Every structure is written in C-alpha cells, then in structure tokens.
Homo-oligomer: A and B are copies of this chain.
Amino acid sequence: MTNTLEEAGDLPGRFSDGVGFVNGQYVPIAEAGVPILDWGFLRGDATYDVVSVWRGKFFRLDAHLERFYAGLETLQLDAGLKRGEIESVLAECARIGNLESAYVEMICTRGQPRSGSRDPRDCQNAFYAFAVPYVWIATLEKQESEGLHLAISDIERISATAVDPTVKNYHWLDFQRGLLDAYAQGAETVVLTRADGTLAEGPGFNIFVVNGDRVITPAAGVLQGITRRTAIEILERFGVEVQQEPLTLDVLHGGLEVFGTSTAGGVLPMTRIDGERVSDGTPGPLTMRVREAYWALHDDPAYVRAVADIPTPAGH
C-alpha cells in the first residue's frame, strides 16, 4: 500500500461513490477491478467478509475479522496482511470515501496460478477491500412501514457437503435464480430450501420465525451471520428462548412474526410470505424490539470501534 488519505488528496468527488483497495492502492470504486484471470473470479475461489460502518463506527469488527481469518484457514488462503493491517485498510477506505455509514468488504482470492500449473498451492493469493455507501436489503423506512415480501423457493441452497456455508463465499447462483423468480412474482427477496425440504437462508440474510413464545432459526447449512448472532444475543437478553433447529415450511407459515438478519440492513421484518400476510401483515412487535436493540448496540462501546480511532496504514 503506497497511498493514503493524505496522498489521495482532497478529492471527495472522485471517491464519494466508494473506494477500492486493489494491488496496494486506494482507487475510486469505479476503477477497482479484479484481474480476469484471478481464480477468485474464474473459479469463485475466494472468501470475504462485510462489516458495516454506522455513523462513523465499525460494528463488531472483531467478529467479522475472526470469521474472515477462519475462512482463510479453511480454504488455505493467505491474505498477506496481519489483522491490524486489514483494520487499517478498511478504515482508510471509509475515510478516503468520507463515508459516515458504509458497507466495507474485505476479500481474499486464490489469485493466478503459475504459468502451466493447475495447482492452487502455486497461486499468489490476493487481498482486496472496498467501502461503498451503506447497502440496504430494505431501507429503514420500508422496514418500519411495510416490511418485506418474501418468496420461498424450492431451489436448493448449495449443500454444506459441497461448499462450506460457514466460509463466506461468492457461490450465489442459487440465490440469484431464486431472486429472479421472487421478483417475477412480485416479492422482494427469497429464502431457499435444503435437500430435506426445511428452510436454509436468503441472499445475505438469515431467517427467524416467532413461534408462540419461542424463536426458531436454522443452524445447519447456513452462514453463521454476525447479525444473526447479535439477534440471538438480544433475544436471550429479553428472556426469549431461541431454538437453533431445522425450520419447516409449516412452522414458517404458522409464525406470528418473521424476520431476517443481515449486515446489509440489520433486522428486517418480513410481512408477507408468497403473497400471504404474516399475522396482520405489519412488522411484528418482537421484531421491532429486536431491531431497536440492534441499532442501540451501534452506540455501545463493547460492540463498536470508531473509524477515526483506527491507525492509518503504515506507509510502505
């Protein structure tokens, strides 16, 4: 990395759409690219994580970095940066973009093989990062007023015996096809199913159902979301029992409330399922309490770190 906020100069316009960190340089997001021969693209051989910045503060940065490093280990990837160095790069992306609230992604790809080699161990792994203005699966306004219309797809989520879903990855064609079907039906997002017919997860979110006085969320075959974990902690603090177990369609349809959890928008009320209203079709009371508590944690020093407090990357 050779340039910094200072060196990038006072050009907020160029960077206001977002900032990429590519090949050790900070560049406007529109100029950030991945080499076409990088196996991160041609083979989806990469892991990533996304952390939010909300009003100048990273939320649960430690948890995201832990998951990212765990993914690197499973895939035998080396990002080539120490944890503090990654923190600095992520903070610098947000600072250069002057982004008060941002969606900040760290990526490690397999990179390109040596000429003639097909051996993944011969690749020079590559680290990328970017920050863009905060991304919403649904805006706060939409969350409060209407909630989301969810479709259930019988497209199967890629199984855990094929691709480990706890390693955050770019294998989303199942989700994308589910989304195309959902939009065609007038829904706004989708949850896929597992081979056993129980529900898995949606594109970028975990699913929760309020079932009597308990809350159920699937545990197997899904990403162990940080927002999911936060929602579970909040529910337990409220004294609500959370059962991490297979979620059937029957339980979903009988749910008093349904919500999703995602770094891209937090706690997302789902008020219609395949066109049918959940309860009275408005965001549910427990959902809204969890959501309020979730956003309150964004001021809790135990959960956040100010972007401004993270050192600028060491010049080299």
> What residues of chain A have their CB less than 8 Å away from a CB belonging to chain B?
18, 20, 22, 29-30, 32-37, 39-45, 75-76, 107, 110, 116, 118-121, 128, 130, 132, 136-137, 155-159, 161-163, 169-177, 179-180, 183, 188-189, 195, 203
> Which chain B residue lies CB-closest to A35?
B33
Given A156-B161, A162-B158, answer yes or no on A170-B36 (Cβ-Cβ < 8 Å): no
Choose among A29, A42, A195 the residue with the greatest number of B CB atoms under 10 Å from its CB.
Answer: A42
Task: Check A22–B45 contact: CB distance below 8 A.
Answer: no
User: Roughly how many angstroms separate A124 CA and B227 CA in the complex, as a whole number?
Assistant: 30
Task: Check B163–A130 contact: CB distance below 8 A.
Answer: no
User: A158 contacts which of B171, B175, B203 (Cβ < 8 Å)?
Assistant: B171
Number of copies: 2
Task: Check B120–A179 contact: CB distance below 8 A.
Answer: yes
Contacts of A36 in B (CB 8 A): 20, 22, 29, 32-34, 107, 128, 130
User: A161 contacts which of B41, B121, B155, B161 (Cβ < 8 Å)?
Assistant: B155
Task: Check B175–A43 contact: CB distance below 8 A.
Answer: yes
Task: Check A172–B45 contact: CB distance below 8 A.
Answer: yes
Task: Check B157–A162 contact: CB distance below 8 A.
Answer: yes
Contacts of A34 in B (CB 8 A): 33-34, 36, 41
User: A40 contacts which of B41, B116, B157 (Cβ < 8 Å)?
Assistant: B41
New contact pairs (13) apart from A33-B35, A44-B171, A158-B158, CB-CB < 8 Å: A33-B36, A36-B130, A39-B172, A44-B44, A110-B176, A118-B137, A118-B179, A120-B179, A120-B180, A155-B162, A156-B162, A158-B159, A171-B173
User: Roughly how many angstroms separate A18 CA and B189 CA in the complex, as a whole number?
Assistant: 40
Task: Check A176–B35 contact: CB distance below 8 A.
Answer: no
User: Roughly how many angstroms separate A39 CA and B132 CA in the complex, as a whole number?
Assistant: 15
Contacts of A183 in B (CB 8 A): 119-121
Task: Check B30–A176 contact: CB distance below 8 A.
Answer: no
Minimum C-beta distance from A254 to chain B (A): 26
Task: Check B35–A170 contact: CB distance below 8 A.
Answer: no
User: Roughly how many angstroms separate A175 CA and B44 CA in the complex, as a whole number?
Assistant: 10
Given A44-B170, A158-B162, A158-B171, answer yes or no on A180-B35 (Cβ-Cβ < 8 Å): no
Given A30-B35, A41-B34, answer yes or no on A136-B116 (Cβ-Cβ < 8 Å): yes
Contacts of A188 in B (CB 8 A): 118
Task: Check A162–B159 contact: CB distance below 8 A.
Answer: yes
Contacts of A195 in B (CB 8 A): 159, 161, 195
Minimum C-beta distance from A159 to chain B (A): 6
> Which chain B residue lies CB-closest to A163?
B173
User: A179 contacts which of B119, B128, B179 (Cβ < 8 Å)?
Assistant: B119
> Which chain B residue lies CB-closest to A113?
B135
User: Roughly how many angstroms separate A38 CA and B177 CA in the complex, as a whole number?
Assistant: 17
Contacts of A107 in B (CB 8 A): 36
Contacts of A170 in B (CB 8 A): 41-44
User: Roughly how many angstroms separate A189 CA and B29 CA in the complex, as a whole number?
Assistant: 37
Minimum C-beta distance from A146 to chain B (A): 16
Task: Check A45–B137 contact: CB distance below 8 A.
Answer: no
